[in-house]
Structure 1
Amino acid sequence: MNTNQRILNAVKLTGGLILLAGIVLFAIGLFESHYSILVSIGTGTIIGAVFIFLMGVFLVISEEIVEKKSSRAENMKKI
């Protein structure tokens, strides 16, 4: 449980920082006419941050399910 919480915190921090960088790039590209390429780079960065966060949450959830099933199988063997 403790390792899952640490993984979730790391994914949350990493995703948040990348999301913040993507929002900044998107805003600079949107409001500054000379750097219109930054809009697409910012959008890609935002999508990447969301993908990183969702994959991290998926891995933590799947690990929880596997642990729960293995402990349930162990309890059934004891009976």
Structure 2
Amino acid sequence: MKNEKLLNATKYVGASTLLIGIAIFLYGFFVSDYSYITGIGIGTVMGAVFIFLMGVFLVATEEMIDNTKKKEKMYSKF
């Protein structure tokens, strides 16, 4: 339950940041005469991917820790 909340939050934050980054990139590439806006868009897209990957990593790590604790409880009964 707790992992689903973190994964959903990561998904929504990552998706919104990705859409903002794509919009900034497209504006900088096609509309604006300033090339640094394109770089800001690329950086925002990379940040969105990083946020999503870190969130998935945290959820996977927490799941592995929970599974290890369950196994320790199971083996401590014997």
What's the TM-score once normalised by structure 2's chain length? 0.96
Task: Say whether the 8 Å CA contact 1:12–1:53 is kept in structure 2.
Answer: yes
2:21 maps to 22
Aligned to 1:55: 54
Instruction: Output the aligned Cα RMSD.
Output: 0.8
Q: Give the aligned length.
A: 78
Deviation at 1:46, TM superposition (A): 0.3
In structure 1, C-alpha distance between the alignment counterparts of 2:4 and 2:32, rounded to whole Å: 43
Structure 1 consecutive aligned stretches of length 4 or more whose deviation exceeds 2 Å? none
What are the within-5 Å matches in structure 2 for residues 39-50 of structure 1? 39-50=38-49
Give the % identical residues. 46
Amino acid at match of 1:71: K
CA distances 1:5-63 after superposition (whole Å, capped 9, x unpaired):
01000000000000000000000001024232110000000000000000000000000
Structure 1 residue 72 displacement after superposition: 0.1
- TM-score, with structure 1 as normaliser: 0.95
Structure 1 residues not aligned, in runs of 5+: none
Where structure 2 has 5 or more consecutive residues not aligned to the other structure, the ranges are: none
